[in-house]
Structure 1
C-alpha cells in the first residue's frame, strides 16, 4: 500500500473557498514516516565523517576559541568584532561547559538543527502537496550538497536554516487563522533566526510575497505584518550596532559561490513551471519559489553597492529547492509516462552526488585547514624562533591549539586575543615590530593567501623587513596559507 493510500490528504477544499477543512491526519502512521525518515537520513549523513580527520577550518576555529571564553568575555569581544555571531558563541559556550570542548560538541548541534530542518521541510511538503511529496522533499533536503556541508560545521547556519523552516511552517499553518499567539510564535521563531544571523531577515520578504500571491484575507496579512514588524524592531538594535563592524566583510570582493544559488534557482523555477496548480489556500510553489529565489536575489542586489553575497548566508533557500524537487518527484510518480524516466534520472543524480558527498568530509573541502597550519608551524619552528603572521588577523589560524606556537615568540603581538577582547589580539606599532624582527635570526612566517592585499603600515613593515634582512630557507604550502621559514641574511 503506498503512502498516499494509507494517509488522507492534509487539506481538502470546501465548496466555499475561504474555509478549508482540516482532515485529522496527525495520528496517521504516514505522518510518522514522513517526518522520521528524513530526520534519520539527515542524522546519518551528518554523523558520517563528522570529524573530517580531526581537522578544523578558520571560521570554526573562531567559534571554538570564542566559545571557550566566559560569557562576559564573549559579550565584550562582540563589542569589537563578530557581534552578529555572539548569540551562537554563547550557546556553544554553554554546550562546551556541559559536554566539554571538542569537535563533536562543536558540530553536533548543526547536525541536530539540520535534522529539525528536514522534519520541517517534510511537514511543509505534506501540508502543501500531500504525504508522498512531503516524504520526498524531506529526503531530498539532506542530500543537497550545501545542506550536507553545513550540517557538519560549528557555525550558526544550520540553526538559522532550521528556524526559518519552522517559521515558514508556522506561516502556512497560520494562513486560515488570525490568532494573536499563533503569529507571536511565528515572530519569535523568525526573530531568533535573525539574532543568530542577520540575513535571515530576508526570509520575511519571501514570506510576504507568499501571502500576497496566495491572496490571503486582509486580516491574515495584517497579522503577519505586525509579527514581521516585531521581528524587524527586535533585530534593529543588533543591526545598527553591528553595522560599525562591517569591515569584517572586506574579504568579500564579489559574490562567493554564487553558482550554487543560480543553478538552484533555475532548477527550482523549472520545477515550479512543470508542477500543476492546486486548490489549496497556499500552493507549494507560492511558498517554495519565493523562499528559494528572493533572499539570494536581494543579497545579490545589495552586492551592487557593497559585496555581501556568500552562499551560506542564505542557506535556508535550499528549503524551497527541496520542496520543489519533492513535489516534482511526486508529480512524476503519478504520471505513468514520465515515471520510469524520472526515476532513472533520480538514480543517476544520486550516483552523481556520491563523489561530492565524499569530498565534503575531507579537510580539502574547506577554504583552509587551521589544524594543518598549526602542525606545520610546530614542525618548522625551533624553540626561541620568532613567529610572524601576514596579515595579523590570520593569527586565528594557529590559535585553536596554543601548543603549536608555545615555543615561539610572536614578534608583533602586544596583547593577546583574550586579554584584549578581540579575535586576533592587538599588535605593536609598525616600527616596534620591525625592531623586534631584527633581533631574531630565524622567523617562522604564516602567510595567508590574501596577505599582499593588506596596505596596513604594520603589514608593510613586516614585508619590508623580511625583504631587506631575511631570505627564505624553506616553506610548506597549505590550503589557504603558507608556512615559511625566514633566516637572517
Structure 2
C-alpha cells in the first residue's frame, strides 16, 4: 500500500495540468448539491455518486489538484493492499508482495492512479469485495461479512454500474471452487440485493446513453491488448497449478481478469462501450497472477539457493521500474492527456481585453471557463443563453444560430477557445458551424496561442457589417 502511495504521489500535479474529463469532475464538484442533482437528471447520472463525494471533499478541503486526485491515489493503495493480502492468504508472502507491488506498476493503473475520476475507487471496491469473498470461502464467516460484501458491491455499482460484472467473476470462482450451499445462498442474497439497489440507476442511465455515442464500434485491433493480458494471466494461472474444487490464486485471479473483459466485449456488440477504464478493476486479477509467476520463480530457486531467492522480487521490481520508467514519466506529464484546460486559461487571461467577447467551439470547451472563471473575467460569453449551473448541464445552453450570428456581428474583438487541429473533431453542430463561418467571413485572426491540445485565437472585425 505504501509503495503504491509513493507511485501515486510522484508527480501528482502533472505540472499543474487538468484535462477535460477531470475538468468535468472539478466543475460539478464546485456546484451546490441541488445543482448537482438537477444536472444528474439530464446528464452524467452514472457518475452522480462520485460527483457528490467530490463535492463533499471540495467543501471540506477546497478545490485543488491535490483534492481532485488524492482519492484515486488512496483508493489504488487500498486495492494494492487487498491484492497483497489475498495473494498471501492463498499462496504465501512472496506471491502477495509481488502481486501487491505489481498493481501500481501496470501502465493502465499508473494512468488512472492520478486521475480525478471514479475508476480507482471502483478498483478499491473490487479489492475489498474479493478479499471478503476469499475470507468467506476460507473461513465460512458470519453474516456480517456478507453484509459488508453486498454493501461494497453496491457502492461499486453506484460509482460505475459496469463494475457489477465482478459478480460474474465471483460466480465463476464459486463454480471453480465448488462452494457449499450455505456460501451459495449468502452470496446470491448479497449479490441480488446489491444489484436490485443499482438497477434504478442502470435503467435511468439508459436514457442518457447518447453520452457514449462517441465510443467507436468494436474492432479486432481493440482485442490485441486484452489478448496480451489474458496470455500473461493464463501463464500465471498455469504456474499456480490450479485444481477444481480448490481455492487458489488462479481461481480468484483468472476470472477477475477474464470475465469483465469478455463481458465488456459482449456488451460492446450491442452498443459500443469498449474502454479499458470501465474495467480497470480487472487488473487486480492480472496483478495476482503476475504475483504467482514471481512466487513460482522464488519457490523453484529456493531449495538450491535460499539466499538468492530472497532477491528475486527486489530484482524483478527494479527491472520493471527501469523498463517502465519512460512510460511512467510520460503518464505523469501534461502530454499524457489529450488537452489541458488550465494551461489555455492562462493564455486567455493574457490575451483578453475588457469588453471583448468569447466563444467556445465546441460548446464543451466552456469547461475552461467553468474551472478557471477568473481568467474570463471581463469577457462576454455571447453564445451562452443559460449557464451550465442553471441549465443543469455540463456545458450550458446556447442561443439559436441566428441569434449567435447577430450578436457576433456587433462585436469588435472575439476570443475563440477550441481544440488544436491535431485533436479537433469535425464541426457538426449548427451553432458551431455558424460561429466558425461568421469568424471566417467577417473577422481576421490577429493572435493565437496553442498549448497542450487547446487553442485560443483572437479575432478582430474586418469592417462594419451593414
Is the counterpart of residue 115 in structure 1 residue 77 in structure 2? yes
Q: Does structure 1 residue 420 correspond to structure 2 residue 383?
A: no
RMSD: 2.4
Contact 2:90–2:248 (Cα < 8 Å) also in 1 = yes
What is the deviation of 1:236? Answer: 0.6
Matched residue, 2:2: 40
> In 2, distance between residues paired with 1:133 and 1:452?
46
Aligned with 2:148 (options 177, 185, 193): 185
Counterpart mapping for 1:167-178 below 5 A: 167-176=129-138, 177=140
Shift of 1:179: 4.0
For the residues of structure 2 that align with 1:398 and 1:300, how far apart are their CA atoms?
37
Aligned residues: 451
* Residue aligned with 1:155, SS: coil
Residue matched to 1:453: 426
Note the C-alpha offset of 1:296: 2.1
Decide whether the 8 Å contact of 2:334 with 2:452 is kept in 1: no
* More divergent stretch after superposition (370-379 vs 335-344): 335-344
1:60 aligns with 2:1: no
Q: Distance in 1 between matches of 2:256 and 2:225?
A: 15
Q: Match of 2:458?
A: 485
* Cα distance, 1:398–1:266 mapped onto 2, change above 3 Å: farther
Q: Does 2:208 match 1:245?
A: yes
1:472 deviates by: 3.1
The aligned counterpart of 2:443 is 470
Distance 2:203 2:27 in 1: 26
Q: 1:364 to 1:87 in 2, by over 3 A?
A: same
Cα deviation, residue 397, structure 1: 3.0
Contact 2:178 2:245 in 1 (8 A): no
Question: For the Cα contact (< 8 Å) 1:391–1:459, is it kept in 2?
Answer: yes
TM-score (structure 2 length as normaliser): 0.90
Gaps of 5+ in 1: 1-38
**Is the contact made by 1:258 and 1:311 (CA closer than 8 Å) also made in structure 2?**
no
Give, in whole Å, the separation in 2 of the partners of 1:348 and 1:181.
Answer: 42
- Decide whether aligned partners of structure 1 residues 62 and 259 sit closer, same or farther in structure 2, where only a CA change above 3 A counts: farther
Q: Give the one of 183, 194, 209 matched to 1:231.
A: 194
Contact 1:43 1:111 in 2 (8 A): yes
Distance 2:271 2:244 in 1: 42
Secondary structure at the aligned position of 1:444 is classed as strand
* Structure-to-structure mapping, 1:139-178, within 5 angstroms: 139-176=101-138, 177=140
- How far, CA to CA, are the matches of 1:438 and 1:468 in structure 2? 11
Contact 1:381–1:408 (CA under 8 A) maintained in structure 2: yes
Which residue does the alignment assign to 1:373?
344
Question: 1:265 Cα deviation (Å)?
Answer: 2.4
Give the Cα separation in 1 of the matches to 2:97 and 2:13.
Answer: 29
Distance 1:346 1:181, change over 3 A: closer
- Aligned partners of 1:469 and 1:115: how far apart in 2? 55
Shift in Å at residue 196 of structure 1? 0.9
Gaps of 5+ in 2: none
Judged with a 3 Å threshold, the aligned counterparts in structure 2 of structure 1 residues 257 and 116 are, in CA distance, closer, same or farther, namely: farther
How far, CA to CA, are the matches of 2:332 and 2:24 in structure 1?
Answer: 20
Secondary structure at the counterpart of residue 385 of structure 2: strand
Q: For 1:105 and 1:437, how far apart are their aligned partners in 2?
A: 39
Q: Deviation of residue 190 (structure 1)?
A: 0.5
Aligned residue for 1:335, secondary structure, equals: helix
- CA positional deviation for 1:214: 1.7
Distance 1:47 1:110, change over 3 A: same
Distance change >3 Å, CA 345–CA 153, structure 1 → 2: closer
The equivalent position to 2:296 in structure 1, one of 326, 331, 346, is: 331
Asked whether the equivalents of residues 128 and 280 of structure 1 are also in contact (C-alpha less than 8 Å), the reply is: no
Deviations 1:115-157 (A, max 9, x none): 1111111111011111221111111111222222222122111
Contact kept, 8 Å, 1:258 with 1:309, in 2: the verdict is no
SS of corresponding position for 2:446:
strand
Deviation of 1:322 after TM superposition, in Å, equals 0.6
Q: Note the alpha carbon deviations across 1:92-112, whole angstroms, 9 max, x for none.
A: 121222222212122111111
- Stretch moving more, 77-86 or 461-470: 461-470
CA distance in 2 between counterparts of 1:212 and 1:280 reads 8
CA contact (8 A) 1:258 1:310 kept: no
The answer to whether the 8 A contact 1:171-1:186 is kept is yes
CA distance in 1, matches of 2:316, 2:87: 21
**CA spacing shift, 1:411–1:257, aligned 2, 3 Å:** farther
What's the counterpart of residue 91 of structure 1? Answer: 53
Distance 1:162 1:346 in 2: 22
Q: What is the distance in 1 between the residues matched to 2:354 and 2:226?
A: 48
Structure 2 distance, partners of 1:83, 1:209, is 30
Q: Equivalent residue of 2:17, what SS? A: coil
TM-score, normalising length from structure 1?
0.86
Question: 3-state DSSP class of the match of 1:188?
Answer: helix
1:128 aligns with 2:128: no
C-alpha distance in 2, partners of 1:257/1:47? Answer: 31
Aligned-partner Cα distance in 1 for 2:233–2:37: 40
> Is the partner of 2:388 in helix, strand or coil?
coil
Whole-angstrom distance in 2 between the partners of 1:264 and 1:488: 56
In structure 1, the residue matched to 2:381 is 410
2:354 is equivalent to residue 383 of structure 1: yes
The match for 2:159 among 196, 205, 208 is 196
